[in-house]
Amino acid sequence: MPTVNDIHEAIQRLVPDDLAESWDNVGLLAGSRQQEVHRILLALDPSVSVARQAAATGADLIITHHPAIFKPIRHLLTDTPTGAFLAAAMRQNISVIACHTSLDSTAEGVSHSLAAALGLEKLRPLVPAGRGFAPICGLGSIGAYATAISAEELVARLRAHCAPPWILAAGRRPETVHCVALCAGSGSELAELALSQGADVYITAEVKHHVARWAEDAGIWILDAGHFPTENPAMPLFARELRELFAERHWEIPIGLAEQKTPLGLLWPPAA
């Protein structure tokens, strides 16, 4: 059976660690490089629940989008969420790999897949990766519709693909939509860049107050559909890519998807 190190080296073809942002923490974060891998659990977020699911299904490797260790840890305490997750994984000999902004920026990454699902064409990154990577690699995505659609149709497509519990809006709502930029997950800081590249609409999450106020005068419609809802649809696609990659190597390793939902819920008004 392939080892954790074999898996990590293989996925460099899809999500190379070098593609991650300099401030990020990706790759093998916990476990043993020499451990054999018989089953993998894929999750957007590291959590105690995910570690329990991995143990219950017999997985010996967890691959998450968000890294369990993001900032340097001075104390690893098991009565904290991070410590509890890592301890739960270590007790069961489960290794942990993170593919964060490396998955965001890859050619078929988180934002690109969302843009494609919304029907946008001629996609390119908002922030090209450069550094010798293919032009399609980078953060965010921007594209256009061959024929403009209504704002209502765009929202309907976003709801159908992401199933967000809410969608917040800021700025002027356009009658028709031609060019759309997006950054799945937290991308408030890219709103001005989206406008400068001709976007009518910018879709992201965790929009800051001053950015929403700016949108009112800037002439762009910003939609905040939530961090988890805009990113999680990419995980089944990533699982499919991993299965295809492993099949090329004749690795018969089952890949499961963790059961997770958005940690934020709508308190008021109550959901219908």
Q: CB-based contacts of 209: which residues, under 8 Å, 6+ apart?
A: none
Instruction: For residue 111, give the 3-state DSSP assignment.
Output: helix
Task: Please tell me whether residues 80 and 179 are part of one structural domain.
Answer: no
Closest CA to 42 of 96, 106, 92: 96
Banded pLDDT at 48 (limits 50, 70, 90): very high
> Residue 244 domain-assigned?
no
> Residue 169 domain-assigned?
yes
> Residue 261 domain-assigned?
no
> Residue 254 domain-assigned?
no
When computed from its CA atoms, the radius of gyration of the chain, rounded to whole angstroms, is 19
Q: Assess whether pLDDT exceeds 70 at residue 213.
A: yes
Banded pLDDT at 271 (limits 50, 70, 90): low
Half-sphere exposure of 114 (CA within 13 A, CB side): 34
Domain harbouring 156, CATH code: 3.40.1390.30
pLDDT of residue 272: 62
pLDDT of residue 270: 79
Annotated binding site for a divalent metal cation: 65-66, 104, 227, 231
Q: What is the extent of the structural domain holding 72? A: 4-102
Residue 217 near residue 84 (C-beta atoms within 8 A)? no
Residue 144 near residue 179 (C-beta atoms within 8 A)? yes
Task: Please tell me whether residues 218 and 112 are part of one structural domain.
Answer: yes
Task: Please tell me whether residues 200 and 84 are part of one structural domain.
Answer: no
Alpha-carbon separation of residue 70 from 29, 174, 205, 268 (angstroms): 10, 38, 20, 32
> Residue 252 domain-assigned?
no
pLDDT of residue 73: 87
Task: Please tell me whether residues 121 and 85 are part of one structural domain.
Answer: no
> Residue 36 domain-assigned?
yes
Q: How many domains does the chain have?
A: 2
Task: Please tell me whether residues 214 and 183 are part of one structural domain.
Answer: yes
3-state DSSP helix/strand/coil percent for the chain, to nearest 5? 35, 25, 40
**Out of 63-72, 146-155, 261-270, least confident range:** 261-270
Banded pLDDT at 269 (limits 50, 70, 90): confident
Query: Last residue of a domain, which of 69, 102, 135?
Result: 102
221's tokens: 């419609």
Rounded distance between C-alpha atoms, residue 3 and residue 89, angstroms: 17
Annotated binding site: 65-66, 104, 227, 231
Task: Please tell me whether residues 96 and 111 are part of one structural domain.
Answer: no
Query: Last residue of a domain, which of 198, 214, 230?
Result: 230
What is the model's pTM?
0.96
